[in-house]
């Protein structure tokens, strides 16, 4: 969207955050109303004051502001806006369960009829949002995380910066981060199988990553990796996760160990079924994970592709629901698995209708050593 120079800094800030929360398509239509002299003052007021001045204040984060907004819109019976802001709340990182709880809390104080209608509206909006974001291989998928692994050749240690292998791998990561749309990279060894190097790279869009192999940088990068990696044991896919970016659970400074939980489903797993599976995962997080004092957070979502190899049975492939779960240590995760909260609720995942396989592994930055690489901020280890 192009802005006239007459607009203030607050207006432009508001336009940006309004698009991030409510969606660029909706905001483009709203801004188009500014061509109408009758509507123009209203759009300027909403964008500049509500979004440019209030939503950008530091006292509350976006998730907290979304929760408050959902409650206020429920109280006003402003159901079209409630649907719109329900999708915005999901973009801001709220889960379906948190949205439902906000409506239930409102129901107690506003009355059951209002609450029931708000439940209908928010449920419909959640399902629509999930249907819109059941990713397909198209260039317009935004905020995507590259999800890939490759097996090391025997003797190769790409995390020893003093070695030729380490210098080569560092150059590869630096090159990737210089590409348009590349945001940050998390990489490390799989604990269960230390020959596997995992790499998760956040991109502005799927198209940005698809453009990288077309660049002059990509060919030499691949050639430099062939002496170090066995590309016959690898895959490269994508996931769209909430919250994005997943740095709270992939950055070793915040989560020294990351559990990568993978649920595989048939390639033709439909939208209602995916919504059910996602709801089961969110319920597991609410009933079990959040009871652990050690739990650091979760970021989860579906694969862009519907042909992800099933871990441990790579002859099969399908859709994948992935969750990055942060822990301070493997021991902390194992301790959690012995609790009644885990044992009483793991069935939520193991019994998801249509589940082909449930698998998990752990990654840690301790083998990588964040300090080994002197390229800082954008380089993180899981």
pLDDT in tens, 1-47: 444 445 578 888 888 888 888 887 777 777 776 777 888 888 888 88
Average pLDDT over residues 315-335: 92
- What's the pTM value of the predicted model, to 2 decimals? 0.65
Q: Within the chain, which residue ranges are assigned CATH 1.20.1290.10?
A: 9-132
pLDDT at site 84: 93
Contact 310, 322 (CB under 8 A): no
Look at residue 258 and tell me whether its pLDDT is greater than 60.
Answer: yes
Q: pLDDT tens digits, residue range 216-225?
A: 988 998 999 9
Pairing of strands 379-381, 142-152: unpaired
Look at residue 373 and tell me whether its pLDDT is greater than 60.
Answer: no
Q: What residues contact residue 379 under an 8 Å CB cut-off, 6+ apart?
A: 173, 177, 184, 185, 370, 373
Q: What residues contact residue 257 under an 8 Å CB cut-off, 6+ apart?
A: 191, 326, 327, 328, 329, 330, 332, 333, 362, 363, 364
Mean pLDDT of the chain: 85
pLDDT at site 6: 53
| Least confidently predicted of 43-52, 278-287, 353-362, 363-372 | 363-372
**What pLDDT band is residue 282 in, cutting at 50, 70 and 90?**
very high
**What pLDDT band is residue 61 in, cutting at 50, 70 and 90?**
confident
Architecture of domain 9-132: Up-down Bundle (1.20)
Rounded (5°) CA angle 118-67-256: 130
**What pLDDT band is residue 137 in, cutting at 50, 70 and 90?**
very low
Q: Within the chain, which residue ranges are assigned CATH 3.30.70.100?
A: 142-381
**What pLDDT band is residue 250 in, cutting at 50, 70 and 90?**
confident
Rounded (5°) CA angle 157-161-167: 85
Cα separation, 95 vs 91, whole angstroms? 9
Between residues 137 and 185, which one has the greater pLDDT? 185
Structure tokens at 194: 């230390």
Average pLDDT over residues 76-104: 91
Look at residue 314 and tell me whether its pLDDT is greater than 50.
Answer: yes
Structure tokens at 134: 């059941």
Look at residue 368 and tell me whether its pLDDT is greater than 50.
Answer: no
pLDDT at site 36: 78
> Measuring CA to CA, which residue among 324, 323, 322, 318 is closest to residue 356?
318
Look at residue 243 and tell me whether its pLDDT is greater than 80.
Answer: yes
CATH topology of domain 142-381: Alpha-Beta Plaits (3.30.70)
Radius of gyration of the chain (CA): 22
């Amino acid at each position: 969207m192009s802005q006239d120079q007459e607009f203030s800094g607050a207006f432009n800030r508001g336009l940006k955050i309004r698009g991030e929360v409510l969606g660029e398509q909706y905001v483009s239509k709203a801004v188009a109303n500014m061509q109408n002299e009758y509507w123009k003052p209203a759009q300027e007021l909403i964008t500049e004051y509500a979004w440019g001045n209030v939503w950008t204040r530091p006292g509350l984060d976006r998730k907290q502001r979304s929760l408050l907004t959902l409650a206020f819109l429920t109280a006003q019976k402003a159901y079209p806006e409630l649907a719109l802001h329900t999708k915005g709340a999901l973009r801001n990182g709220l889960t379906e369960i948190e949205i439902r709880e906000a409506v239930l809390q409102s129901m107690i104080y506003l009355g059951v009829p209002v609450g029931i209608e708000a439940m209908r509206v928010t449920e419909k909006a959640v399902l629509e949002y999930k249907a819109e974001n059941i990713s397909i291989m198209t260039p317009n998928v935004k905020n995507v995380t590259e999800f890939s692994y490759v097996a090391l050749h025997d003797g190769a240690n790409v995390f020893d910066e003093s070695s030729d292998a380490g210098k080569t791998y560092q150059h590869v990561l630096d090159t990737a981060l210089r590409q348009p749309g590349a945001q940050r990279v998390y990489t490390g060894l799989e604990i269960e199988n230390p020959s596997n190097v995992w790499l998760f790279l956040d991109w502005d869009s799927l198209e940005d990553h698809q453009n990288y192999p077309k660049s002059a940088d990509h060919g030499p990068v691949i050639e430099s990796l062939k002496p170090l990696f066995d590309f016959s044991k690898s895959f490269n896919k994508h996931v769209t996760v909430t919250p994005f970016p997943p740095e709270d659970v992939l950055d070793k400074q915040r989560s020294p160990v990351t559990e990568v939980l993978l649920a595989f489903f048939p390639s033709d797993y439909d939208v209602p079924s995916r919504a059910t599976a996602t709801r089961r995962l969110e319920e597991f997080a609410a009933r079990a994970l959040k009871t652990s004092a050690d739990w650091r957070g979760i970021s989860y979502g579906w694969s862009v592709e519907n042909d992800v190899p099933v871990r441990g049975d790579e002859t099969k492939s399908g859709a994948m629901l992935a969750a990055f779960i942060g822990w301070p240590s493997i021991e902390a995760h194992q301790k959690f698995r012995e609790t009644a909260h885990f044992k009483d609720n793991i069935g939520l995942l193991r019994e998801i209708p249509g589940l082909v396989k449930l698998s998990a592994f752990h990654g840690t930055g301790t083998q990588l050593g964040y300090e080994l690489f002197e390229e800082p901020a954008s380089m993180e280890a899981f």
